Structure 1
């Protein structure tokens, strides 16, 4: 009886057999070419938002340099014909240690972005963390995923009623964990967006979780009923285009929206309350009373913060610098992971976000203490190139390379990937 090939061999066979027929992959197998093609396929606004980083981009570069500091040490003759890529996180068995990170305003890369991503996640058995700044309501995304695994990301609003409403909807939508993002109480300094004067939320993109929320709609209605003194907006071609964008992106009929104050009021309300600059550990301490879901705190980089998160009852943390988009010159997420794992020991559940570009990167992160990783920009680039199929291809490529790396280093399962299989390189 012959064993079935793993996802790595299977992926190689699929691509090479297509090559015999003269067909090349639409989605490149390497990140560099994927990024180049995605940039050509994207608008300037889309590329600035998705690919851009904070300040001079030092945190983004540091994220990548951190991976380059570690080299894999393959071991020979392990006889590991089959490999088990599954991993248990928060009491759930995941097919692989790769999850899809929440990314807001995905419609910049393609209409109904979140639905395409949700379908791709379900097709590849990959957990998708719904973005709080999504372009499709979480209920729609849940519907297209069936029973497939999903989590929900929460931005802590200034309005506590809205926080509770979003949590309740996530629970009703079948989310299996609540991921609270801590590092975006205010937007970071993002020159690529600033140089274009471009913020997708001001055009009504990325606020679908809000415009579909009963508490948010109540706040908007109250705002319309009691308008505050506002400075008149100059009538320019740009202002008219922005108004049309708000109108198109708001739920309902375009023509009805165009005659209504609601789209503009929704955008203004979102910008006023979407995130709470005063977010504190006291707020986070209330989560156990507010949800039955496992709680994951995202954006932690310091061991003391990690320890405090678990002391408060968090079930897991995501070690993340927001893909280098919030603080310029911040510590690399991978370096922070190593420090936190060394400080807290083997027991706490640690996920890594920021800097993951390939299956080899996933292997390195797992070897250095991550229980799983969140994949971000690469799958968005796949979306830009080929929609749902592009997202699927990126996921399959990353998982295939992880599987092949395991095969070539003698790792039979995820638990076998440890620091014995990597070594720090001299600087």
Structure 2
């Protein structure tokens, strides 16, 4: 230790980076001039691109140029399923044949929820929570209005999330579907997905999990949980790029009886026969509606390679250590900010929210200084270090600039 606290903090961050089992991984991601971005703390919104993704996209464009329409027969037509299976194995805990890549999260959420509700036609309720991501709430509000169903709201503290006991108390014999986020978008609260799924099944209801803020940073075991349905995006910890297509999971036991509401030609049995009448394809392909975004699916494969190589348990350990470090530094350097996330890493996903009344006005100045978190109203600054691409030194730099701007 020295008499210079800043130097001691910097030395400690360097020591943490040197001991990090994933210390070589940040170099595998693109980084701009350090004078422009000195601390990227928004991996929970949009992940950095991998260097390998650039090469893969260039190769895909070359394939497009050289093979033209022949690419559909050679690879592209099956990509939503082959990449879906890889997602299932590497980050979802799902056996093959249950996951497909396709539309936006919003569209897949609608398709999965409508299909699930059709499997419980005699029930009249959808259970959700008051602080779920806005899209989830809006989609379900629209479906409830469309079908004449009731919404049963679980009221939660925005700094926490849905506890298993509260979920069990809210699910009734009238509940058709429970829709919750595995990791809360605001607080980072990590729900007990296995216990909540069990509670829903005990009441005869189905469960749809939103995995947007957990996939790629938190171990997920959809098959072991006996989850019914799941949806998630691929541009956060999976680094698929802006607008990369989402994934949908349907438990194998439900596939034969599952019909999603947006009938498109690529989800029909024998689509190239162009026959009259819609007959859903066998298996998970029935989740697909229209032509998938081939280029949009390419980038995430390189991130899956990295997670597969490192192991999701190691990724999770790094994520927990990084967010613990955020909290440690916030207590030291931002004492006036309130920690609006669970303190126990076992109850927390991959990001931390800090509340302060001046964070809204501070955010543009942080971005100008090359420190990039995001803001969630009314006064929350979300810090989402991505375990594969973020260093401890980068986190320290970010917190020090935030303290300076306050």
TM-score, length-normalised on structure 1? 0.28
Which structure is richer in relative contact order (CA contacts within 8 A, separation 6 or more)?
Answer: 1
Q: Is the helix fraction higher in 1 or 2?
A: 1
